[in-house]
Structure 1
């Protein structure tokens, strides 16, 4: 029987201490590893963590993908699936079990597919198929949209729902194809080329959507094939690519005229927002009505002001003023004449009395001559006053004639009125088809605005 070493408290380890030292040893040596194998015993509890076993023909390894890392992985793990896992080896101390704490999961063979993806991307980029100046503008108001996608997937339902909600007047022509698996890439390319040829069985296509829902790199690989990229690049119709989810990128995305992260987003971009446009039009209508109402009020005030000014300058008003002035002058003349005659009568009476007092015939003859002279002057005063008044009246009548519209018309001008009889001062006041009346110096005629 072998002799046992004497034990002390210093060299005895607890289970926890041993497990912790093993953990520290493993974590220090086995970190940042890629492990591949087959998935089994997959469990997904409510916590969001994923527990599974990775195995091959000779061994198995417990793995855990915590919720924080799982939300960044696009691969849907399933039992029997061949995958590659990147992570660190650790020890689950409560069970004394070593395990792989996964950080990233990808299908087996992902590296080869990624290499192929990058090679084709570089090739097409060198050919200039990704250049911005090749991108065709997407029509803002399409009449008909063609959709190349699976007839049974969620993508086609999402696209049709978006079109019905935003722009129900847009026609959607669905061209059903396989979107994954053997032969899918050829079907997709043939559908794109058939639509590009403009067959008689289709209406004029304004926009082409190439779409499918999300999935793994293998699921989306049909949209990374060169045959699909060439068909999209040669398509004369603007192409929108809506393949996968936000984090998925395909060769089809780079070649298309527009890339959207999801099928629904592609449909959103392809058709206008009908309800939003209607709201904008209603707002514009209200603004336009307010502006027109304001302009009409302003024009009405301007027209009333012009009408009052026209009345103030009308010949009838001037004639009436002149006649009133003439009546006033006549009254003044009559009053002046009466006063003058009264004065002369008084003077003659005084003179007669003086003659009667003096009585010499010579004085009588002299006074008679003076009297005749005064009587002549007296007779000329009313004539001079009437002549002056006539000259003033004639001047006023000439001024009235100058303001008379008929005098203006006689010089080659004309006046045009709308159907309500209002004078037109601007060509903006009439529209095509309005009837107008034109007045000339010797008549008038009606016409229709062309």
Structure 2
């Protein structure tokens, strides 16, 4: 039926079912679509969009999808298949390179020119790319970059990581880069040459192309949880568009929010990425980034050596001063000891002389004391007392009579006088009218 319909279109007479006259083969439909597209787009068109799924082929052709820009992680609203044949690719690459080191890559917003075609073998509309407007890409990149920098500054993130203090000995390093890249090799080689005992945690990361933004953010998130002194984000050289991930807002915010200083060595001599702006320090190459760390540790070691020498000198000076002080003290102690000994010797001599004369003085004092006692004893001698007129009266049994009660009436008494004894008997007792009054002796002469 399809063949009969096709023959009818070519002018051959045929009897065809009216229903079959409206039925097209796949080839017929594709041909009509192709004709319709050719009529709708007789000339080449300019189209803007974002490159996704960029891939090359062995024959030098390039294929990708041009999609309507959207939010990261959300499906785009529209896409168009694009092919760039080898001949046109050389022209496009040359134009981009002359415009400032650009190159076609994923997530790059472009304005391209091409023919709208219908690719019958796969039944899809395709744009056959023939040219590109690099000024659009450069302008879009610059505008997006400036807008992002303004947002980061408004949020206080532009210098947040730069304000962090870098430890004087940053030995624990988190290295965010592709593990098999020349950037990783250069960075690690520079560290090894220093002879320092580094501790490097390598976080294997895709740093360009599709998924590079997500990889970078994920690696930085992991690094933020590790006990590190510093994080280095490095990659080798490349075109300006190879570094587009480092101008992405998600990467910039991840770097700015890191708890430790972040160093970048992104390997581009001309442009400064947004990642460079928010990092603690930015370097042109991975080697320069590693060299900075080596110099930091080297300065610390030099400072330690200088402090050690300074401490040794000050210690020697302090010891010299203390030695002189001890010597002076020893001299003073020796002099003081001699003086003390001399004073002690003089005192001992004086005490010796005093001790030598002590017995003589003691005997003299004892003699005087004995004489005084002798005089007191003589004064108290009863015979001398009696001689002065006093008497001593005793009862017959020898008891002294001191009171009237000691000699009641009829008591026999013996009274001693100076030249003998008088015997008597008590016939009466006359008490003194005032016992407190001492009538005194015969001559009132008391010892």
Q: What range is the shorter-chain TM-score in?
A: 0.3 to 0.5
TM-score, structure 2 as length reference: 0.44
Specify the structure having the higher radius of gyration (Cα): 2
TM-score, structure 1 as length reference: 0.44
